[in-house]
Amino acid sequence: MTTLKAVLDVLERIAPSSAAEDWDNPGLQIGHLSQEVGKIFISLDPTLESLRKAVKRKAQVLLTHHPLILTPISSLNRERYPGDVIFEAIERGVSVIAAHTNLDAARGGINDGLAELFGLQEVGELEERSDSEERSLGRIGQLPKPVRLSELTERIKGILGAERIRVLGRKDRRIQRVAVVGGAGGGMVALASKKGAQLLVTGDVRHHEALEAKTSGLALIDAGHFHTEKSALKPFANHLRNHFAEHHMDVIVEVYETEKSPMRYE
């Protein structure tokens, strides 16, 4: 049978931990490497909801994008996050693992998934390497032909399943070169602009980042941290299934389809 160690080895091949940012903590969060794994449950966030859903779906492993332990832990309090999730995971026998900025950067990872969903061509990396801040390693590419920003806006809302999005730029501006950064990518405005992007699609854009885009003539779509990453989990799950099949590993992969963003628009 397949062990957690073998699953982590596959993940390491898909998204090498050496590609993660310095501040990140991908890989094993809690668990034992010799555990037998028949089913993996994938969610964006390691919340109690995600864990309980994984238990309900009889998975042995919860694989999340955001690591359960991001700040190293000095004290495990059962009554406070992440202690609550860790206690319940240990009690229920569920291991928790993560693939975060290494997955953002990986071939076939979060950002490649976004680029694919948007139909970008001649896709390249937005930056070689980021050292200091939390930001996903993005992608940049070309739309098959120029599209009006207003039309693109509607298209992206549909693709990402996002109810509302925030936009900067003239509605009738024609866009062809697009940068995408899953998660919090407002810090990439200068780079996207320098690399010739006409539009940057990302999440968690802050006010001063929007002003920066405006002064440098870059259109901006903030589709939300949650939606820009969540929509890329399905392609990733397929990617993972292919790897398991290839290595004759008998592991079922499920995605937490009904996971919700913590915030809603009103």
Binding site for its own copies (CB under 8 A): 25, 27-34, 45, 47, 66, 69-81, 83-84, 86-87, 90-91, 150, 153, 157, 164-168, 183-184, 203-208, 210-216, 220, 222, 224-226, 261-266
What is the number of other CB atoms lying within 10 angstroms of the CB of residue 225? 22
Instruction: Please state the closest distance from residue 145 (CB atom) to its own copies, in A.
Output: 22
For the sheet with 39-43, list strands across it: 95-98, 61-64, 39-43, 252-255
Instruction: Please state the closest distance from residue 67 (CB atom) to its own copies, in A.
Output: 9
Residue 117 contacts by C-beta under 8 Å, 6 or more apart in sequence? 159, 160, 231, 232, 235
3-state secondary structure of 37: coil
Instruction: Please state the closest distance from residue 66 (CB atom) to its own copies, in A.
Output: 7
Judged by CB, which is closer to its own copies: 44, or 123?
A: 44
Judged by CB, which is closer to its own copies: 112, or 209?
A: 209
Instruction: Please state the closest distance from residue 134 (CB atom) to its own copies, in A.
Output: 9
Instruction: Please state the closest distance from residue 100 (CB atom) to its own copies, in A.
Output: 11
| Integer Cα distance of 66 and 136 in angstroms | 12
End-to-end CA separation in angstroms for the chain: 49
Q: DSSP class of residue 15?
A: S
Judged by CB, which is closer to its own copies: 57, or 157?
A: 157
Judged by CB, which is closer to its own copies: 1, or 122?
A: 1
Q: What angle do the packed helices 233-246 and 110-117 form, to 10 degrees?
A: 120
Residue 21 contacts by C-beta under 8 Å, 6 or more apart in sequence? 101, 130, 131, 134
| Integer Cα distance of 66 and 126 in angstroms | 21
Structure tokens belonging to residue 191: 């780079």
Judged by CB, which is closer to its own copies: 123, or 183?
A: 183
| Integer Cα distance of 118 and 29 in angstroms | 32
Instruction: Please state the closest distance from residue 121 (CB atom) to its own copies, in A.
Output: 25
E strand or H helix at 21, and its extent? none
Judged by CB, which is closer to its own copies: 46, or 109?
A: 46
Instruction: Please state the closest distance from residue 186 (CB atom) to its own copies, in A.
Output: 9
What is the number of other CB atoms lying within 10 angstroms of the CB of residue 101? 27
Judged by CB, which is closer to its own copies: 73, or 245?
A: 73
